[in-house]
Structure 1
Amino acid sequence: MSESVQRICPEIFSRKTVLLRIHTIVKEKMICWILQLIILTSCVCAGAFVVTVTQSSYQAEEKHNVTLEWRFTPKPDSSSNSLYIYCELITDHKGSVLYHLQEGVEVPESQDEQFSGRVQCNKDVLRDGQIRLHVSSLRTEDSGLYRCDVRTDYGVSNDKCQLTVIAAADPPKPHRPTVSPQPESRGRIGLYAGLGLGLGLAAALLVKFCFASRAERDRERQREREREKVSHLPQSETCVCLCSDLLMMK
């Protein structure tokens, strides 16, 4: 009977088969969506703990200071002994440990020598989910990518930031300002110049007077010698000498 019905109404059975297949496909898709929703929900629950940087990149000058900061999801009832922080500088050559906290206790032995004595952590803000690392006396080799891994008893996560340290510029050479002479100093300069000129003129006159006095004395001595010669000569020669002297004086 059924075979005869199928032969009589083949279109009815083909439509029914199509509907059954559609129903099966829809059912399978719904099951897939439900499974995906469950997986996403579990992932969100598991990823409730996150670490983020407050600033993706930093820039500072050599020999200055900088504070690198990360934030993580805090949990009020979590113990600080379960907190693990591991921050490092990642370069092309190697990884250098910037800061290491193990079970709430700092581990300075694992810190790289490059950062020895130059990194301080503000522990007062750790309970609020903040990691603040103050790096002092920056060097150009401190430039690079910094990654901070944080692990607690309720999650694990990490994030990165970039630091660029610019070389310090050479200090400018001291400039000596050109001081223009004040009116008072100009007057003093003129006074000193006048005094110098007056002293020079007085010295020249003194020298001239000395030479003139000496020449006069020489002439006086010459006349006395002539008189002495005349006094020893006969009268006739004396007259001749006197006449010659008078002519010379004229």
Structure 2
Amino acid sequence: MICRILLSLSSCVFGSFVVNVTQTSYQAEENHNITLEWTFTVETGRSPTYLIIYCELSEQSISVLDYVRDGAEVSESQDEKFSGRVQSDRDALREGRIRLQLCRLRTEDSGQYRCQVNTDYGFSSASCRLNVTAAADQRSTSPPQEEREDWKNILIVLTAAALVLALLCCALYFGSC
């Protein structure tokens, strides 16, 4: 914690290193893919001697989505619920862009995503929210209200027709005696 505070203070004193999220809120449907994107300050003519990128989903517990240290992914840090479902664009890092594609979204992927970037010339982080809704074919198992009303009306007509038929049968039966 103290190290993070010192890094934040050093970015204030030695220059302004900033991480921004390109979109603060994302909306997606279950089983679809989405790309979350952040940008960070890149000093012209100078590449960082070290670069650490740490992206996480922080809801009830923290789940590591992506962890890059000096351009190499640290896959053993990734939460198993994201295993095989996260792809990142390493080429975009040179341009100061972090692009994470989440595949085969699940409703439990909803939450606050934070990406922290730490270089030798600064530390910063930014967050965005992702809301994943259930797939359209799974949202409702009951028919829409209008369809239920139609069936209700059909049942009323059929019941009335059966009653009229029963009365006619009775009249014919008792009328022939």
Give the TM-score, by structure 1 length. 0.49
- Residue deviations 1:51-101 (CA, integer Å, cap 9, x gap): 00000000000000000000000123444551110000000x200000000
Q: Distance in 1 between matches of 2:56 and 2:42?
A: 22
**Structure 1 residue 152, shift from structure 2 partner:** 0.6
Equivalent residue for 2:89? 122
Equivalent residue for 1:64? 32
Q: Distance in 1 between matches of 2:25 and 2:93?
A: 22
The answer as to 2:55 corresponding to 1:87 is yes
Q: Distance in 2 between matches of 1:49 and 1:43?
A: 6
Q: Distance in 1 between matches of 2:27 and 2:106?
A: 12
Equivalent residue for 1:54? 22
Alignment map for 1:114-153 (pairs within 5 Å): 114-153=81-120
DSSP 3-state at the match of 1:170: helix
Equivalent residue for 1:73? 41
Alignment map for 1:107-186 (pairs within 5 Å): 107-170=74-137
* Aligned match for 2:65, one of 98, 106, 123: 98
- Which amino acid letter does the alignment assign opposite residue 17 of structure 2? F
Unaligned runs of 5+ in 1: 1-41, 174-250
- Which amino acid letter does the alignment assign opposite residue 56 of structure 2? E
Distance 1:79 1:47, change over 3 A: closer
Q: Could you tell me whether the CA contact under 8 Å between 2:15 and 2:121 is conserved in 1?
A: no
**Structure 1 residue 104, shift from structure 2 partner:** 1.6
Q: Distance in 1 between matches of 2:70 and 2:79?
A: 20
- Which amino acid letter does the alignment assign opposite residue 55 of structure 2? C
**Structure 1 residue 43, shift from structure 2 partner:** 7.5
Distance 1:44 1:109, change over 3 A: closer
- Which amino acid letter does the alignment assign opposite residue 79 of structure 2? D
DSSP 3-state at the match of 2:136: coil
**Structure 1 residue 125, shift from structure 2 partner:** 1.2
The structure with more radius of gyration: 1
- Which amino acid letter does the alignment assign opposite residue 134 of structure 1? Q
- Residue deviations 1:5-27 (CA, integer Å, cap 9, x gap): xxxxxxxxxxxxxxxxxxxxxxx
Distance 1:155 1:44, change over 3 A: closer
**Structure 1 residue 150, shift from structure 2 partner:** 0.1
**Structure 1 residue 45, shift from structure 2 partner:** 4.9
Q: Distance in 2 between matches of 1:117 and 1:99?
A: 11
Q: Could you tell me whether the CA contact under 8 Å between 2:71 and 2:90 is conserved in 1?
A: no
- Which amino acid letter does the alignment assign opposite residue 87 of structure 1? C
DSSP 3-state at the match of 2:105: coil
Q: Could you tell me whether the CA contact under 8 Å between 2:48 and 2:120 is conserved in 1?
A: no
Q: Percent identity?
A: 58
